[in-house]
Amino acid sequence: MGRTLKIALLTFTLLHCALTIVAKGGAMYNVAKLGAIPDEKTDSSKAFVDAWAAACGSTGRPTIHVPPGRYMIRNAITFSGTKCKNKGVNFDIKGTLVAPSNFHILGNSVTWLAFEYVTGVSISGGVLDGQGAGLWACKTSGKGGCPSGVTNLGFTNSKNIVIKGLTSVNSQLYHIVFVGCKNVKVEGTKVSAPESSPNTDGIHVQLSTGVSIQSSSIRTGDDCISIGAGTTNMWMENIKCGPGHGISIGSLGKQMNEPGVQNITLKTATFTGTQNGVRIKSWGRPSNGFVKDVLFQHITMVNAQNPIIIDQNYCPGNKGCPGKVSGVRIDGITYQDIHGTSASPVAIHFDCSAINHCTGLRLEDVKLTHNSKPATSICAFAGGLTYGLVQPKSCL
């Protein structure tokens, strides 16, 4: 190659790179340059707070960069979007954010890393280590005096959120929570906590619309994904769950006045050694809540205790459930192409409300076995139809 040509190419490449950076838009804030120290001990909270303030106040599309290493974030941080001057902030995380292992430090906050009223926040990569073991031990010892614990990552009243390739481990309480959010995309996310860890739900969604969770794997001590009141238009695809309590719509109907859950799809999922597979759960109490238009499709069960379950008689401690009848109406739930093994003899259990019978349940191509033999099904107040092969024999 001639020298002139080389120089011309080099110039072109450099120019192209410079243009790419400009085109990606916005300033870059590196937490390490703002005082964060990746030694796992020094509290780096302030650097993250300062990075957010700077990014939020800048126009264009700023990026907060977190280089590799373990950063102690000793404080609960609120990333508020109310005063931001842009349409979004990127978090590019190569490192691990570590919560204090002493649970008294964060224990009475609600969320460790809380985003509120943000638009267009995107998080790519990163590990959040909640170091929850101390709090779980406190809770399981039964001695009392334990705080309820914090959620690792929470978004409230936010929209256009993208989370890609994030890992959340050992949260004290829930791992990732969305409340009052619109248009959320979670992809390639991993959640991990021991099977014995209490209340460590993987992803909880409530009062939100347009949440999608794709290609994610969740191993934890409570629900892999829990779907609360007021969730609509939710999409879950390519999900691995287990250990854990399965994917649960509910608990619903604890309140008298409660918005319903509608248009929920779970497509292609594997449940391995979970307490439940796909579950709908409501309190045995008066409520105007409802669940409508749900599709569970292409699902493999590997030794799930309760592969398909509707439980409308939830009432822990048998307190506060007058008459023990749920007001929640369940209608239009499709179970399609669900196969594999049940760890208990009852693979299908529809325990519906005596006053609001389940309607429009649809079982299609279901084959679940227990100890290499057909499993059984139990129905109470459950109405619907079956299509194709259904094993165990349907009780609808």
Ligand X SMILES: *[C@@H]1O[C@H](CO)[C@@H](O)[C@H](O)[C@H]1NC(C)=O
Positions marked catalytic: 245
Total binding residues for ligand X by CB under 6 A? 5
Min. distance of Cβ 233 from ligand X in angstroms? 4
Under 8 Å CB-to-CB from 90, ≥6 apart: which residues?
Answer: 61, 62, 63, 64, 121, 122, 123, 124
| DSSP assignment of 186-220 | EES-EEE--TT-TT--SEEEES-EEEEEEEEEEE-
CB of 67 to ligand X, least distance (A): 36
Please say which residue, 209 or 326, places its beta carbon nearer to ligand X: 209
What binding mask, one character per residue, do residues 215-234 give for ligand X by CB under 6 A, x or -? ------------------xx
Q: Which CB atom, from 77 or from 266, has the smaller least distance to ligand X?
A: 266
Least Å distance, CB 102 to ligand X, is 41
Q: Residue 177 or 234: which CB sits closer to ligand X?
A: 234
Beta carbon nearer to ligand X, 55 or 264: 264
Least CB distance to ligand X at residue 212 (A): 6
Token pair of 231 as six digits = 């969730």
What does the radius of gyration of the chain's CA atoms come to, in whole angstroms? 24
Query: Which of 45, 215, 263, 334 touches ligand X by CB under 6 A?
Result: 263
Among 265, 303, 341, 344, which residue interacts with ligand X (rule: CB under 6 A)?
A: 265
What secondary structure letter does DSSP report for 69? Answer: S
**C-alpha triplet 110, 115, 119: angle, nearest 5°:** 155
Instruction: For residue 303, state whether it binds ligand X (rule: CB under 6 A).
Output: no
Which is closer to ligand X, CB of 192 or CB of 212?
212
DSSP state of 366: E
Main-chain phi, psi angles of 71, to 5 degrees: -105, 120
Whole-angstrom distance, CA of residue 280 vs CA of residue 187: 24
The CB-of-279 to ligand X minimum distance in angstroms stands at: 19
Quote the CA–CA distance of 27 and 18 in Å, as a whole number.
Answer: 13
The amino acid sitting at 342 is S
Residues with Cβ within 8 Å of residue 20, at least 6 apart in sequence: none
Task: Out of 105, 235, 297, 339, name the contact with ligand X by CB under 6 A.
Answer: 235
Enumerate binding residues for ligand X (CB under 6 A): 233-235, 263, 265
